[in-house]
Amino acid sequence: MTKPVGMEVAVAAAEAVALCNIDVAACYPITPNTHIAEHLADIIADGRIDAEYITVESEHSALSAVMGASGTGARTFTATSSQGLMYMHEILPITPAMRLPVVMGLGNRAVSGPINIWNDHSDIIMQRDSGWLSIFADNGQEAVDMFIQAFKIAEHPDVLLPINVNMDGFQLTHVVEPIVFPTQAQVNKFLPPYKPFASLHPDHPLSMGTLGLPEIYTEAVKARDVATVNAKKVIVQIWQEWEKQFGRKYEPVMTYKTAGAEILILTMGSMGETAEVAVDALRKKGVKVGLLKLKLWRPFPFDEIRKAVRGAKTLVVTDRALSYGGPGGPVCSEIRAALYDQPNRPEIVNYIIGLGGRDVRVEDFMKMIEGAPKAKKSGDAYQIYGVRE
C-alpha cells in the first residue's frame, strides 16, 4: 500500500477511473464535476491510458455516446452534475434497461432555479427512479475506492446495471484530502476485465434496444427490478472483498458510535464527517447519540436500515433535497417506508439541510439533535433547517 498523497478529490476520482483502464469516456463540462472531466482528458492526452475521449456537445450525447461504446463491449465512463444530469434524463432509464454497465461520476449540485452551482442532492434525487445503482462517498478516499468498486459492481454478470458514484459538489469535489491510492497491480487483481454479455460486432449480429410491446414491457420491468434488488447482495460481497484486500470497510449503512444510542442521526454524503464531530461533542456531554451514514441509495438497503435503528427512541433523518408538497425529504420517505410496519420503531424527525451549498456546521447538527423532541412535537412531516427569516 502506498503512502497517502494530498490531492483534490475530483482529480483523485479521475485517477481512480484511469486505474480502471477505461476504454471510452464522454464528458461535457459542468461545474462542479468539470475537474474530473478535465483531469481524465489530461491522463488520456498524456497517453497514460489507452482510451477514446469524446468531447460531446451535450450531456444528452455524453450518455448516448458511452452507451453506444458500452454496446461494443468497451468499459465506459461519464461524469456530470445538476442540469447536466437533468439533460441526460431522457436517456438515463434506458441505460439500465439495456443492461449497459456505464459508470458515472456525479459532483452533486443543486438543480436550478434559482440557478445555483453549489451542493445539495436535488440532482440525483430527481433521477431516483431511473434504475441506476447509486452510491455516496463521504470523503475523498471513499470516492477513489468507490469508483474502482463501481466498475466491478456494474460489470458483475449478476448485475450488469449502470451505477453512479455521488460526491458532494465543491464540499467534496474541490477539497484537497489525503488519499491512499491502490497500485495498478492491486486494481488489476481486484477488477477483472469487462466481459460483456452481448456486444455489437458483425461476427455475431444482434439487435439492442428493441421495441417492447405491452406483452413484454411488464416482464422487462420485472426483470430489471429483480436485477436491481439482487444487486445489493453483489455490492455487499464486493465491498467485503475490498475490505479484505485494502482494509477499508464499506457497508450499505455505516454506523458511528451507535452502541447504546437513544438518538440516531442519519446522513448521506460528505456531511457525515461533520455529523461525526457533533456526535463526539454530544457524547462527551453525555447525550446517548449515534450516527448512521447511508452509503447505498439504490438499491435501498431496507433490512440494513431496520437493523441499524433497532433500540433507538428517536431517528433524526437529514435530507439534502425536498419533494415539494410531498412527505418530506426523499431519504426520509424511504426510511419511513422501511420502518412503517416495524414494532418498536423510533420516532422520526426529518430536517432538510444544506440546500444549494448552505453550510451545515457541527453546531447545526448538535442543534438538530437537541431540538429533535421539539421538532417532533410540532407535528410537521419535515422542517427546512436554518431558514433565514
Partner 1 sequence: MSTLTVTPNYATGVVSNFDLFAGKLVDREEYFSCGHRACQGCGEALAIRLMCKALGKETVIANATGCMEVISTLYPTTAWKLPWIHVAFPNAAAVGSGVEAGLKVMRRKGRIPDRYVKTVAIGGDGGTVDIGLQALSGAMERGHDMLYVCFDNEAYMNTGIQRSSATPFGASTTTAPAGAASPGNRTWKKNVPEIMVAHNVPYVATACHSYPIDFMNKVKKARAVKGPAYIHCLAVCPTGWRAESKDCIKLGRLAVETGIFPLYEVENGKYRLTVEKPEKLRPVTDYMKMQGRFRHLGKEEIGYFQDRVNLEFAKLMNKVECIESWDELKG
Q: Which residues here bind partner 1, judged by CB under 8 A?
A: 23-24, 26, 44, 47, 50-52, 54-58, 60-62, 64-74, 76, 90-91, 94, 98, 199-213, 216
Return d(Cα 47, Cα 87) in angstroms, integer: 31
- Helix crossing, 9-19 with 34-45: angle to 10°? 50
The smaller minimum CB distance to partner 1, of residues 64 and 274, is found at: 64
Q: How many CA atoms lie within 13 A of 269 on its CB side?
A: 30
Rg (CA), the chain: 21
Sign of CA dihedral 257, 308, 141, 182: positive
In 3D space, the residue among 63, 75, 98 whose CA is nearest the CA of residue 191 turns out to be 75
The smaller minimum CB distance to partner 1, of residues 75 and 174, is found at: 75
| Amino acid at residue number 362 | V
The smaller minimum CB distance to partner 1, of residues 217 and 363, is found at: 217
Name, in order, each residue with C-beta under 8 angstroms of 126's C-beta and a sequence gap of 6 or more.
85, 86, 89, 111, 321
Minimum distance between the CB of residue 209 and partner 1, rounded to whole angstroms? 4
Minimum distance between the CB of residue 51 and partner 1, rounded to whole angstroms? 6
The smaller minimum CB distance to partner 1, of residues 24 and 154, is found at: 24
Minimum distance between the CB of residue 103 and partner 1, rounded to whole angstroms? 14
Minimum distance between the CB of residue 117 and partner 1, rounded to whole angstroms? 23
Residue 129 to residues 125, 133, 176, 237: CA-CA distances in angstroms? 8, 10, 33, 24
Minimum distance between the CB of residue 29 and partner 1, rounded to whole angstroms? 14
Minimum distance between the CB of residue 95 and partner 1, rounded to whole angstroms? 9
The smaller minimum CB distance to partner 1, of residues 83 and 267, is found at: 83
The smaller minimum CB distance to partner 1, of residues 63 and 353, is found at: 63
| Amino acid at residue number 256 | Y
